Amino acid sequence: MAIDYQKEGKIAIFTINRPEALNAMNVQAARELHEAMVDFRDDPELWVGIITGAGDRAFCAGADIKDMLPFLKEHLQSSPWAMPATPMRGLDLWKPLIAAINGLTMGGGLEIALACDLRIASEKARFGCPEVTLGLIPGWGATQRLPRIVPWCKAAELLLTGKPIDAQEAYRIGLVNIVVPTEAVMSTAKEWAEVICQAGPLAVRAAKEAMIRGSSLTLEDGLRLENALEAYLMSTEDFTEGTTAFVEKRKPDFKGK
């Protein structure tokens, strides 16, 4: 399996499992990631996802040039949506995703990380968009997400030069949330996931949806979206449980209903 998909309580863990190729994504890996992400999206018992790469050398080195690029060249013009839907493009996913970045994160690998909501990086991680050096541009969202996440000039530096940056520079420009020792990447990701699992899952998903959908709206329309989502949450059992638990000074027992 190119994608190792495991469930630990309320947490789903997706491991890109091609260490011999620095976890580069081939067509099979993309298909398996789609299947795993759909299962995660549709499983009411899963509340948070973590994406990582096998081993400690690479999170994902990008697209497998020998496999993925010929496929894209064959299909993109006639069928631009030939690639399976993923959080990078085509799959709406409101459950939060954490990228546990344990090494080289280039091209499509960076785009996978950008499609996550939180990014935890190893001290040895390196990030880059080398596509222009191949005569291409990123195709999984980097040209759109990167300028929305980091300052425009830093996004342009990464996208136009193809030169990589290290973990500390990624932290300095706001590309990652935190930098930790390599051996602490996965444990930190799980700690953050557990914290999120203590919150109301419907509220967490609504907050993510409001952020993502609102980013393409005017402020006025975004506020309307926020209001509609808040009104929905107030009708849920989780809202009743959360407010009751607060008054009773106890830990809430959220059910995602």
Closest C-alpha among 253, 231, 257 to residue 244: 253
Question: Which are the catalytic amino acids?
Answer: 111, 131
Sign of torsion over alpha carbons 183, 100, 23, 169: negative
Q: CA 155 → CA 32, 127, 132, 146, 174, distances in Å?
A: 30, 12, 13, 6, 11
d(CA 35, CA 18): 17
- Tokens found for residue 157: 């530096």
Q: How many CA atoms lie within 13 A of 29 on its CB side?
A: 26
Rounded to whole angstroms, the Cα distance separating 169 from 221 reads: 35
- The whole-angstrom separation of Cα 58 and Cα 52 is 9
Side-chain-side CA neighbours of residue 97 (13 Å): 22
- The neighbour count for residue 231, using CB atoms within 10 Å, is 9
By the 8 A CB rule, do 206 and 94 touch?
yes
Q: Please, what is the Cα angle at 87 between 85 and 93, to 5 degrees?
A: 105
- Whole-angstrom CA distances from 21 to 4, 13, 113, 191 are 15, 20, 18, 29
